[in-house]
Amino acid sequence: MPLEIIKLKSKYDVKTERVTNFYSANPFPGYKSIDNKSTILKKGDKSLLSKKIKNLFKNKKKILEVGSGTCQLASYFAIGTNNQVFALDATYRSLEEGRNFAEKNNINNIKFMHGNILDNNIKKDYFDLVWCNGVLHHTSDPYLGFVNSLSYLKKNGVIIVGMYNYYGRFTTKIMQILFKIFGKKIIMMLDPIVKEMKSDYNDKNAWIEDQYNHPLEKTYTYKEISEWFKKNNVSLISTIPNSTKINLNELDQKIISEAKNQEINKYQFLNEIMMIFNSFGKDGGLFVFIGIKK
């Protein structure tokens, strides 16, 4: 039985239309012809964050991925579990790719939703986990997107928010200028992520377009996202790079159930600056906040 893509009632402003058109032309992340359940699991397990979260949310949990793109992470959370996974994205073509992969690989515990996160039109207080990593900074109103995403989360549920960092994005900003002047060849030579990729052109092109030719992106600091959490009664548990007493490896069900707010340490600014020089900066300057809705 074909899997349905549910069309939500949504409006798209000019900026959002530009983003959806961009991803229609450049679906991200791309699939390879050899991709199957095994390769998606292997890819997901390479990320300490996704592997840890899957281990914590793998038994009859309701999971929403906001800005799912081609739904590879949604598939990862669904494979081998009895979770109900929901993939929300504003680009229909990206959802089609995710649906096609799910149908081909008999992944039946995913629902696909086509809509705009800036329209608050999903069931409230419903999900155990809302994953919103690397998407809000591509919207015309990231804070509204955060508030909407949080409204879908149950009390004591976990929210993952990943944003481009103001300082950590510095190297990428320089590379974006070089891209505009010299084109893709200079990126092929200098970008460490591209150089680590194998010969698959589609993978390299998808990364380059997403990082260096995106029509809309914004950057934030730890302080700004911390204020979002405080303003909306969300307990901060941990960050990546880590700036709290609890690191990702220590995260467990006991910590989640206690939901004790962790203050960002006074050296967090140095962590942000160091992103310029370490792997976080080389990987696009993304930082992550993990919180619990009170």
Q: Which of 145-149, 217-221, 276-280 is the least confident region?
A: 276-280
Q: What is the pLDDT of residues 136-189, one digit of tens each?
A: 999 999 999 999 999 999 999 999 999 999 999 999 999 999 999 999 999 999
Residues 33 and 146 in one domain: yes
Residues 144 and 239 in one domain: yes
In CATH, what number is assigned to the domain containing residue 59? 3.40.50.150
Residues 240 and 101 in one domain: yes
- Which burial class, exposed, middle or buried, applies to 151 when counting CB atoms under 10 A from its CB (0-12, 13-18, 19+)? middle
Domain boundary at 182, 216, 250, which?
A: 216
Can you say how many angstroms the Cα of residue 228 is from the centroid of all Cα atoms in its chain?
A: 17
| Of 223, 235, 67, nearest in space to 158 by CA | 235
Res 2: pLDDT? 78
Give the global pTM: 0.95
Residues 201 and 224 in one domain: no
Residues 255 and 176 in one domain: no
Residues 254 and 137 in one domain: yes
Residues 102 and 125 in one domain: yes
Range of the domain at 64: 5-167+217-293
Q: Per DSSP, which regions of the chain are E strands?
A: 5-7, 62-66, 84-89, 110-114, 127-133, 153-164, 234-240, 286-293
Q: Cα–Cα distance between 1 and 22 in angstroms, integer?
A: 30
Residue 193 half-sphere exposure toward CB, CA atoms < 13 A: 20
The total number of structural domains that make up the chain:
2
3-class SS at 167? coil
